[in-house]
Amino acid sequence: MIAHEARWIDAREGSLAPLNGCDVVVLGYGNQGRAQALNLRDSGAAARVRVWTRSGGPAAARAVADDFERIDTAALGEGDLFLCLLPDEVQPTFLRETLDPALRAAGKPGRVGFAHGFALQFTTAGQELRRAPWVEVFLVAPAGPGEEVRTAYVSGGGVPALLAVWHDASGAARARALAVAQAIGALRAGVLETTVADEVVVDLFGEQAVLCGGLSALVRAAFTTLTRAGYPPALAYLECVHQLRLTAELIARHGIAGMRERISRTALYGDVTRGPRILGAEVRMRMADILREIESGEFSREWMEEDRRGAPALETARGDRLADPLEEAGRAFRTRLQSPDSTPTGP
């Protein structure tokens, strides 16, 4: 796969005008759906913001509690712009069997935005969105969870986002994507224009190699090494898990070089001499394999088949977690920190 150039968008390019008069329907009311719906409504850009969720579930109740009008499938044809924030594995079926027929029956053009390009890049539904009646298909992908998207917006800031256009029969897809980015607060922090293919590959790789898969595997291995050697679980958890946030914040604020300037010389020596031993050539080869699996579509096919079978691997992981020594140590540690009787000790 050949990656493309990406560029930061000047905030002055953004305008809320493409959303004026729009009836925006947010599809899904999970963490990202709730955050974007609230930010859109607070921006005052759209004529109205409504929510589609499955009836009877906790998401529907939460949307109503947040004073949103929750619409049923029969009313989907009334919408002008849809933000598809449903789970990746649900999107293809919903787009093909629910949203597309509703728009055709209403005789309306389809305009839809996504927060991740998985369904666009790796499913047949994504290819179908490049045909009529779809006129605008774009991506505005916040680089952070929904809770942070909302918190940053309320505080006057925003979470950076990636922006890409998948299909533009109207000529207005990019402008509308920029309007959404501005309405949810992303332009306050910075928006990087890229392609859907690059966004989805980099996002999946980051999740698997670093942010979720790599990080959790590294933490678990370190915790197990210490506890098997006889060191107390609470001590292992404090050192290998709790302090991650502090180091991550240093890197986010100052970069790796800046982090290294702010730690002890002993820690720095351990960093530069032992880090490469932990993540050596073999790990880099495995990362390259993971990247190839993502680019080729092997991972997406594997995940969709896993979901079709009821996701047994996820159920097994949930069951294993209940009796996990690391999780037990974490629960005890967090309870201790939250206790009003706990007294910090040490320097």
Query: Which residues belong to the active site?
Result: 116
Residues facing residue 163 across a β-bridge = 140, 193
Q: Tell me which H or E stretch contains 327.
A: helix 325-338
The CA-based angle 300-305-308, given to 5 degrees, is 130
- The two tokens of residue 299 are 């991972």
The rounded distance, in Å, linking the Cα atoms of 16 and 251 is 34
DSSP string, 153-221: HHTT----EEEEEEEESSS-HHHHHHHHHHHTTHHHH-EEE--HHHHHHHHHHHIIIIITHHHHHHHHH
**Is-contact 63 93, C-beta < 8 A?**
no
83 within 8 A of 30, measured Cβ to Cβ: no
Say how far apart CA 151 and CA 78 lie, in whole Å.
Answer: 30
Cα distance between residue 312 and residue 206, in whole Å? 23
CA distance 217 to 209: 10
